[in-house]
Amino acid sequence: MKFEEYPIADGIKTSISKLGFKKPTDIQFKSIPPILRGEDVLAIAHTGTGKTAAFAIPVLHILQERKIKGRPDGVKCLVMVPTHELALQTDNVFRVLGKHTRVKSFAIHGGVEQDPQIEQLNRGVDVLIATPGRMFDLVSQGALQLQRVEILVLDEADHMLDLGFIKDIRDLMRHLPRKRQTLFFSATIDEKIKKIAYSLVTDAIRIQISPKDPVAKNIDHAVAFIEMNDKRFFLENVITNNPDQKILVFVRTKVRAERVKKALERVNIQAETIHGDKEQKQRQLTMQLFHKGEVKVLIATDVSARGIDIPDVEFVVNYDLPESPEYYVHRVGRTGRGSHKGQAISFCSKEEREMLATIEEQLGKPIYRTEISKGFYRDTIESSKENEETDWQSLLEQEEAFQKNRKKKRKNRH
């Protein structure tokens, strides 16, 4: 079935056509009809499957048909997301798809001044995309009313739970009308998520897109066994050998992100970081620079991973292995988007072998091993600019000590 055959508003079809999309993805094919019928949906699908459009398309049609006209009627659709980046990304999808409709979308999140957000809400918003913290701030101040919400979307629900937003999700229900349509989208499903999901939805249509290999076919992913203290040399090697390509590097913590950045700076490689300690303006500027290709290397933590949707990311490097298999799938899914080919390489130290086994168990097959000979391993470390500089300094010190000793000997002779 093609998009042009769907019973959706012509303006939405125009936007879809301009984007070059003709047929829906699996998650879109299975989600759009029940959402259009007003049913609750519980959808499980991995990253890169087009799930944002799977709910954005029918929501835009429903709101367009109801001819919503801004603030007097209040927010009609609330989309809850875990991170700032994902809020902006989701808002962009709604704006692009809804360009030829009267439906207005807007994203609110922390890290920026709230007054401009309140002003926009007062001008009228139909679809509100929000992170929990800022949303509750505005609700508590009376600046945001949710009594007229007709559609609730919980996107990346598993990640929201990982970040500890379970209480926020439960508290949210007190501010929403009981009679509403609820759409629950998650990359994974376990007993905890299932229990929460079924407490929120009513007679939901369950949709699960579970490919045999959750990693997209157009991504070549591999693992290399590298000791923790040597990883910086191999990252330098990857970047040096791919100077014109966008490279996204994942680490486990904010501290690690900054340390890796400094290690790259020591060998004259420019890189930027994105993580929770960064101001929102900094994060947006960094994303813009990476998007434009003015910054080729971006170092990120898992908190930021799901909000990074940058075209033409040629390489993903798992500098640290993630703590869960789901994070692995999300990380490598930042490359190979759409029809583009992508490459992902993971650096695995002795301490991370157990993590690797868990990831492979979840994937259902081993990750391809990139064999590194002892000679190449040694050469990679020795050829690093960091070691070149260290050796140069060492030689200077040796030469200086030699000259001092020589002068001393000459003095003693006389």
Task: Point out the domain boundary residue: 178, 209, 240.
Answer: 209
One domain, residues 229 and 368: yes
Task: Point out the domain boundary residue: 209, 228, 244.
Answer: 209
What does the DSSP 8-state code read for residue 244?
A: T
Does residue 61 fall inside a structural domain? yes
One domain, residues 196 and 284: no
How far is 277 from 287, CA to CA, in rounded Å? 15
Are the C-beta atoms of residues 9 and 97 closer than 8 Å to each other? Answer: no
The pLDDT of residue 188 is: 76
One domain, residues 199 and 230: no
Q: Tell how strand 297-300 and strand 246-250 pair up.
A: parallel
One domain, residues 136 and 7: yes
One domain, residues 158 and 230: no
Does residue 326 fall inside a structural domain? yes
Structural domains in the chain (count): 2
φ and ψ of 388, to 5 deg: -60, -45
Tokens of residue 36, six digits? 């259009």
Within 8 A by CB and 6+ apart from 360, the residues are: 366, 367
Q: Please give the model's pTM, rounded to 2 decimal places.
A: 0.68
**What is the residue type of 37?**
R
Q: Identify the CA nearest to 296 among candidates 338, 231, 345, 235.
A: 235
Does residue 398 fall inside a structural domain? no
One domain, residues 68 and 32: yes
Tell me the torsion sign for CA atoms 313, 226, 220, 161.
Answer: negative
One domain, residues 252 and 172: no
One domain, residues 185 and 316: no
Burial 375-389 (b: 16+ CB within 10 A, else e): eebeebbeebebeee
One domain, residues 146 and 15: yes
Query: What is the extent of the structural domain holding 128?
Result: 3-209
Does residue 360 fall inside a structural domain? yes
Query: Tens of pLDDT along the chain (414 residues)?
Result: 788 889 999 999 999 998 888 889 889 999 999 999 999 999 988 766 788 999 999 999 999 988 654 445 679 999 999 888 889 889 999 999 999 999 999 999 887 889 999 999 988 899 999 998 899 999 989 899 898 999 999 998 887 877 778 888 888 888 898 899 999 998 777 787 888 888 888 888 999 886 666 677 788 999 999 999 999 999 999 999 998 899 999 999 889 999 999 999 999 999 999 887 777 778 888 888 888 889 999 999 887 655 566 778 899 999 999 988 878 888 888 887 766 788 999 999 999 999 999 999 888 889 999 999 999 999 999 888 776 654 445 545 555 666 666 666 565 655
Q: Residue 278: give its domain's CATH number.
A: 3.40.50.300
Does residue 408 fall inside a structural domain? no
How far is 126 from 103, CA to CA, in rounded Å? 6
Are the C-beta atoms of residues 303 and 86 closer than 8 Å to each other? Answer: no
Q: Tell how strand 105-108 and strand 272-274 pair up.
A: unpaired
Does residue 405 fall inside a structural domain? no
One domain, residues 239 and 93: no
One domain, residues 267 and 302: yes
Task: Point out the domain boundary residue: 209, 234, 266.
Answer: 209
Are the C-beta atoms of residues 251 and 321 closer than 8 Å to each other? Answer: no
Does residue 406 fall inside a structural domain? no
How far is 275 from 286, CA to CA, in rounded Å? 11
| Element containing residue 317 per DSSP (H, E) | strand 313-318
One domain, residues 286 and 315: yes
Does residue 330 fall inside a structural domain? yes
The pLDDT of residue 37 is: 95
